[in-house]
Amino acid sequence: MDQTIERSGNFATRVDVNGSFNEVDSAVVSLTKPASSAAEQYRVLYHRLERLRALRPLKTVAFTSALSGEGKTITAVNLALAAAAANPDRKVLLVDCDLRRPKVHEYLGLRAQPGLTEVLRGEAEVGQAVRRFASTRLAVLPAGSAAEDAADLLHSSRTRHLLSLCAEHFDEIYLDAPPCLPFADANILSTQCQGVVMVVKAGATSSRRVAQALANLGDAPVLGCVLNGVDVAELAYR
């Protein structure tokens, strides 16, 4: 695994031939509507993380939510793209760690496999799974095939080794983790991150659920919450 991650660290020449801007979901506003108020909010979020990086190590950040459907994946995707655009000299990696309902590849129009599942099972090498998305500076490791034993895979020593190696070869790493109330996966991943961001859907998730989700994360380094689903038209500068 060490040699393959070494090769994939030089991801600038690795392009997913099936990934193009024409296949990107319209919700990926960092690409489809970069001048929009919504895209600007992802840039604001990124620079808030940058301020935290000035105070503490913050290389690997996970995004989770209390329940499914709150927008954690699209938040992670847009934030990672904003990060790659803001710092061309940095190597930025987005990892889809939601092995139960992988969505990153769908938003970006990428091949689903091979991905994280195949790497962790020894069915593929990291160099085969990590790829650069189209003409951006973003490297992506999709989840691969859905896994019923997701918690066991994420809790394995192979996952810890993989994330450790990624941290050696990438400057910023963003993980899309499963929701933390139904599954233990986010809690497992939080022990391997320097920060966790909780995504909350406006008008949908009760404060009680959010409190339960935060309690489930225990001593995880929670950085804060992102309120998703707000009408960004109200934020427009006129």
pLDDT in tens, 139-149: 999 999 999 89
Residue for token digits 């790493």? 173
Domain holding 221, by residue range, is 2-229
- Asked if residue 236 has pLDDT above 70, the reply is no
Residue 238 inside a domain? The answer is no
Give the pLDDT score at 43: 96
Angle between helices 37-53 and 72-86 (to 10 degrees): 70
Contact 186, 100 (CB under 8 A): no
- Asked if residue 33 has pLDDT above 90, the reply is yes
Give the pLDDT score at 17: 46
Mean predicted confidence (pLDDT) in 184-210? 91
Give the pLDDT score at 106: 94
Residue 236 inside a domain? The answer is no
Residue 121 inside a domain? The answer is yes
Residue 23 inside a domain? The answer is yes
Read off the pLDDT of residues 68-85 as tens digits, 9 standing for 90 and up: 888 999 999 999 999 999
Q: What is the mean pLDDT of the chain?
A: 87
Read off the pLDDT of residues 134-187 as tens digits, 9 standing for 90 and up: 778 899 999 999 998 999 999 999 999 999 989 999 999 999 999 999 999 999
Q: Report the number of distinct structural domains present in the chain.
A: 1
Query: Which CATH number do you get for residue 53?
Result: 3.40.50.300
- What's the rounded Cα separation, in Å, for the pair 198 and 188? 15
Angle at 99 between CA 183 and CA 189, to 5 degrees: 60
Residue 111 inside a domain? The answer is yes
